[in-house]
Structure 1
Amino acid sequence: MNLSLNEIEALCKKAARGAGMSWGLAEEAAKAARWLSAQGMEGPALLAAQLRLNDGTDYAQLAPRIEADRWSSAGRSMCPLIAGATLSDHAQLITGGSAIVLEAVSCPVLLAPFASRLASSRGEAVALSWPGCHLYFDAAGTMFCGPASDPSAGDVVAVTCEISPAQVNSSVVKGPAPAVAEAVLSYLTGLASRTYVPATEASRAQGAGSTLSDND
C-alpha cells in the first residue's frame, strides 16, 4: 500500500508506542521511519523488524551503556533507535580524530536518521560504518553510500560513528517512498491498536505497558 510520509510517521509512532516505547522514543522511531522512507528505503519494514525484536523486552536490556568511545548493552543486542537518540544527546563525545563504537547493534541502518541529524546540527560530516556498509553524511545531513555498500547489510553488528573527512566515489541515497507491504502494515497496525485500550496485566505482558520507557 502506498502511504504518504505523514501517514507513515503517524502509524509508526503509534506502533512504536504499542510495542512499549515511551511517547518520546516512539516519536524518534516514527521520524526515523519517515526519514528512511524519504530516502527510498523501506522505513516501516525496518522499524517493524526492530519492534519485533524489542517487543516485551526491558528498556535496560536494549539501551547503550555510555562510555567514552565504546558503548555496549546489557542484552543480546542494542536497539538502534534507543542508541541513536542517546547518541544525539551525547554528541559532544564525538570529536575529530575520535570515534564511538556501538557494539552488537541490531538493524544498524536505523541509526542513519540520527547520524544525518547529528551532521546537520553540528555542520560537520559524519560517517557510519559496519561490515558491508559505509554511509557518509555531509554537513547538511545528506546521506551518501560508499562503493559496494549495502545499507541493509548486517544483523547484529558493531557500528562505528565518527566525524568524517570528505568522501569520494560515494553516491547520494534518495528516492520515492516505496509501498508498504501488507504484512508490515498489518503488523504495525496491530501494535498501534494496543494504544487504544487500557493496559491490563495481560496486555503489558505483550508489550502494551511501558517496558521500553526512558522516563520521558
Structure 2
Amino acid sequence: MNASLNEIENLCKKAARGAGLSWGVAEEAGRAARWLSGNGLDGPALLAEQLRLDDGCAYSQITPDMSTECWERAGRSMCPLISGVTLSDHAYLLRENGRILLGKVTHPQLLMPFASAAARQLGIALQLSWQGCILEFSPGGEAVLIQPDNFASPLVEGVSCICIRIASGTGRALSGSIPTLAKSVQDYLDVLAARTYVPASEVSRLSGAGAGLSDNI
C-alpha cells in the first residue's frame, strides 16, 4: 500500500495506543514513524517490531531510570519510544552536561526522530551513536549517517547522544521516498489500532457519541 505521511502517523499513533502506550507517547510514536518514513526509512515496520515487544508490558518495565548518569532499566532493555520522549523532555541536559547516555535499548533507529527534535529545540548539532553506528543532526534537525555499521540493529547495549560544535559535513544525508507499507505490517498495526475503538451502544448513541439518531437530519 502506498500510504501518505498523514496516514502513517494516524495509523501508528492508534496502534501505539492500542499496544498500551499512553496517548502522549502514542502521539510521539506516530510522529516518529512519520519522520522515519519521510526520510526514506520504514517507520511503520520499525514501530510494529517495537510494539510487539511493548505489548502487555507495564510502563515501569521499559522506561529509563534517570537516577544514574547512564539511564537504564535494570534487567531489561528500554523502549526507544519512551526513552526518546524522555530525552526530548530533558533535552536541556544536553546543553548543561553535553551528553545523555542510555543503556540497553531495542530498535535504536526509533531514537532518531527524538534526537532530531532535540537538535532543533536547542539549535545545536548533536551526534547519536551506538555500537559502530554514528549519526549527526544539524541544528535544523537534518540527519546524516556518518558510520552505518549496525544501523539496523534490533538491540544495542548502549546509546550516546552528545553535543558537537558543528556537524562534520561528511556521510550520507538520510532521504528518500516513502517506503511502501507492507500488508503484513498494516494488518498488525490495524489489529492494535482496533483496540482503541469503543463498540457502539444504544447508550453511547443517545448520549451523543457518533452520529446518534440524527444521522439523516
Shorter-chain TM range is: 0.7 to 0.9
Structure 1 residues 89-98 or 53-62, which shifts more? Answer: 89-98
Residues 162-215 of structure 1, C-alpha deviations (whole Å, 9 max, x = no match): 1123224221101111001111111000000011137xxxxxxxxxxxxxxxxx
How much has 1:26 moved relative to structure 2? 0.5
**What is the DSSP-based 3-state SS (H/G/I as helix, E as strand, rest coil) of the residue aligned with 1:139?**
coil
Residues 100-144 of structure 1, C-alpha deviations (whole Å, 9 max, x = no match): 210001000100000000001111001100013111000100000
> Which residue number corresponds to residue 106 of structure 1?
106
Cα distance in 1 for partners of 2:90, 2:163 equals 14
Q: Which residues of 2 match residues 114-129 of structure 1 at below 5 A?
A: 114-129=114-129
Partners of 1:8 and 1:33 within 8 A in 2: yes
Gaps of 5+ in 1: 199-216
Q: Which residues of 2 match residues 136-175 of structure 1 at below 5 A?
A: 136-165=136-165, 166-175=167-176
> Which residue number corresponds to residue 202 of structure 2?
none
Partners of 2:63 and 2:83 within 8 A in 1: yes
How much has 1:92 moved relative to structure 2? 1.6
TM-score, normalising length from structure 1? 0.87
How much has 1:54 moved relative to structure 2? 0.3
**What is the DSSP-based 3-state SS (H/G/I as helix, E as strand, rest coil) of the residue aligned with 1:112?**
helix
Greater relative CO, 1 or 2 (CA 8 Å, sep 6+)? 1
Partners of 2:128 and 2:135 within 8 A in 1: yes
How much has 1:8 moved relative to structure 2? 0.2
> Which residue number corresponds to residue 27 of structure 1?
27
> RMSD in angstroms over aligned alpha carbons?
1.6
AA matched with 1:23: W
Partners of 2:131 and 2:156 within 8 A in 1: no
Partners of 2:125 and 2:137 within 8 A in 1: yes
> Which residue number corresponds to residue 204 of structure 1?
none
TM-score, normalising length from structure 2? 0.86
Structure 1 residues 8-17 or 150-159, which shifts more? Answer: 150-159
Partners of 1:81 and 1:110 within 8 A in 2: yes
**What is the DSSP-based 3-state SS (H/G/I as helix, E as strand, rest coil) of the residue aligned with 1:126?**
strand
> Which residue number corresponds to residue 187 of structure 2?
186
**What is the DSSP-based 3-state SS (H/G/I as helix, E as strand, rest coil) of the residue aligned with 2:147?**
coil
Gaps of 5+ in 2: 200-217
Cα distance in 2 for partners of 1:139, 1:121 equals 8
Partners of 1:96 and 1:163 within 8 A in 2: no
How much has 1:152 moved relative to structure 2? 1.1
**What is the DSSP-based 3-state SS (H/G/I as helix, E as strand, rest coil) of the residue aligned with 1:64?**
coil
> Which residue number corresponds to residue 61 of structure 1?
61
AA matched with 1:133: C
Cα distance in 1 for partners of 2:96, 2:123 equals 13
Percent identity (aligned): 52
